[in-house]
Structure 1
Amino acid sequence: MSVDLYPLASFEQVENTPSRLDGISAELEEDLRAYGCKLIAEAGVLLNQKQVAVATAQILFHRFWFVTSMKQFGIGDIGMGALYLASKLQECPVRMRDLINVYDILIQRTAHKRKILVSRDPHPPELKYVPMSYFGNTFYDLKDALVVSEMQILKRLGFNVNVVLPYGTLVNYLRLLGLTARDDVCRQAWGYLNDTLQTPVYALYAVPTIISAAILLTTRHCDIALPSKPPHCWWTLFDAEWEDIWSVSGYIMRLYRPRTLEEQLRPMGMISKKDVRKWLEENETS
């Protein structure tokens, strides 16, 4: 039943993702997934889009990479297509032109930020956004990429775009544990759930397990003791396994790990499939 409610990747898909079979390391794929989700979140803010649509787009984005390689499609194009599709699914549609404009801004801003990190200029220049010409190729190229991306997401996921979001269930779990009186606990647990959207856990574990991981990290950070000795373990109330909760917690905490300059620059320069293919060619010859 859980597979019907939460479409999950198979063990074979997890062990050998299409991107990994094409030579992209697990660490790089993880960074590209996270950066693609950041772009989706930033686009959602600029478009004043509802969080349910943004979260749905990020979950669909992660599912897509279990059936398709990043060598075939860019994270920018698929992120744009996922947000466009999710806005329809959640009945808060956006104009195609607005979405294209926003992603054009984000791509230019990413390139500008990357130059600043490379130059290490203590007084970097401000971004001078150059609007695209609606009679040039840029707009129509992005429009074609948006249409193709939405179609490919539907096709490769077999139109299985059902998404169960965790926010309402989180409130119920916190109420059951008697934690809703603490604003800091609710706020931090909610934040952890938003962080998980940058990881592929929604394609790997059921929602109750992911929520339990957010509660675990929150209560440990806030120094709140919950029953944890068998047979009275709080997570058993939610049919979650300790090993799975611990694994999801690891995915979340890896987002906060210190990154070298190279690790920060690498996903910024691989937004398109052309950039990914160029990187693969360079690493094959090196």
Structure 2
Amino acid sequence: CVNSTLVSALEKGFRTTSSAEKAGRLQEEEPKGMPERFLFECAIKLSMKPLTSATAAVLFHRFYRESDESEYDPYMIASSCLYLAGKIKDDPVKIRDVINVAHSTINRGAQPLELGDEYWSMRDTIVQAELFITRILKFDLTTVHPHKYMLHYMKSLQDWFGVKEWNALPVAKTAASFLQDFHHSAKILDHKPDHVAVSCLALAFQAYGVQVPLTDDVDETTAWYNI
């Protein structure tokens, strides 16, 4: 049974008093995917590494696979996932920074919170939510990311293209962007990480009309995506 105080805090989230009055209407009008955009925007403002923000996104999606989306404020959960991911990936951020970045991102133009009741309430909620998320995920916080596969594939492709030609192509940067963008969707949980990495690279090749050399001359066992 979840502590009722925690549920109440998670339902309220980072909304100010004035915005809380409109919370129901805002939730109905809010475009799908906004909490995920919020998560990545906060990660950038916090100077988190891409792998850390990806970890936070995976935790976020996994949590809502096990929970009712309408029961907990997604922005508070996203903030807690960022804080937790920083610990998991040894890329820690101060909880005060998480609170102020999240608060200012939700309430555009707002000043950083002073060390008052509102700040301490949010701090306690993030800490409790961190433990709650861990419990919901059955203490399994391991994530096999597509990123490591993508790095291996890029090394293989560099050998196929040659260092000079590969470095001149925008494929690597574009594929990495596709991979990060895919973490906005819960479908990232539905596919094997190596398949996701290959798909992002293949999409980048298609976007620029680039074909991998000797593709027609090799079989499946010797292709660049077999490592």
Provide TM-score, normalisation by structure 1. Answer: 0.60
- What does residue 167 of structure 1 align with? 147
C-alpha contact 1:201 1:210 (8 A) present in aligned 2: no
- What does residue 51 of structure 1 align with? 50
Shift of 1:234: 8.7
Q: Deviation string for 1:50-95 (max 9, x for gaps)?
A: 2221111111111111100111111101101101111111112211
C-alpha contact 2:36 2:57 (8 A) present in aligned 1: yes
C-alpha contact 1:64 1:157 (8 A) present in aligned 2: yes
Give percent identity, aligned residues only: 22
Matches within 5 A, 1:41-120: 41-109=40-108
C-alpha contact 2:146 2:193 (8 A) present in aligned 1: yes
Taking the aligned partners of 1:175 and 1:76, their CA distance within structure 2 comes to: 37
> Structure 2, unaligned stretches of length 5 or more?
1-27
Taking the aligned partners of 1:218 and 1:106, their CA distance within structure 2 comes to: 31
In structure 2, relative to structure 1, the CA distance for the partners of 1:35 and 1:232 (3 Å cut) is: farther
Taking the aligned partners of 1:176 and 1:57, their CA distance within structure 2 comes to: 29
Taking the aligned partners of 2:55 and 2:102, their CA distance within structure 1 comes to: 18
- What does residue 206 of structure 2 align with? 220
Secondary structure of 1:65 counterpart: helix
User: Is 1:158 matched with 2:157?
Assistant: no
Provide TM-score, normalisation by structure 2. Answer: 0.74
C-alpha contact 1:132 1:139 (8 A) present in aligned 2: yes
In structure 2, relative to structure 1, the CA distance for the partners of 1:238 and 1:95 (3 Å cut) is: same
User: Is 1:139 matched with 2:130?
Assistant: no
- What does residue 183 of structure 2 align with? 197
Bigger RCO of structures 1 and 2 (CA < 8 A, at least 6 apart)? 1
Secondary structure of 2:200 counterpart: helix
In structure 2, relative to structure 1, the CA distance for the partners of 1:228 and 1:67 (3 Å cut) is: farther
In structure 2, relative to structure 1, the CA distance for the partners of 1:235 and 1:165 (3 Å cut) is: farther
C-alpha contact 1:212 1:235 (8 A) present in aligned 2: no
Taking the aligned partners of 2:207 and 2:115, their CA distance within structure 1 comes to: 50
User: Is 1:130 matched with 2:130?
Assistant: no
Shift of 1:233: 5.3
Amino acid at match of 2:174: Q
RMSD across aligned C-alpha pairs, in angstroms? 2.6
Amino acid at match of 1:35: M
Secondary structure of 1:83 counterpart: helix
Amino acid at match of 1:37: E
Secondary structure of 2:148 counterpart: helix
Shift of 1:228: 7.6
C-alpha contact 2:57 2:184 (8 A) present in aligned 1: yes
Q: Deviation string for 1:209-267 (max 9, x for gaps)?
A: 101110121111111235788x945997647xxxxxxxxxxxxxxxxxxxxxxxxxxxx
Shift of 1:203: 1.2
Taking the aligned partners of 1:206 and 1:67, their CA distance within structure 2 comes to: 20
Secondary structure of 2:66 counterpart: coil
> Structure 1, unaligned stretches of length 5 or more?
1-27, 110-126, 240-286
In structure 2, relative to structure 1, the CA distance for the partners of 1:48 and 1:181 (3 Å cut) is: closer
Secondary structure of 2:170 counterpart: helix
Shift of 1:170: 0.9
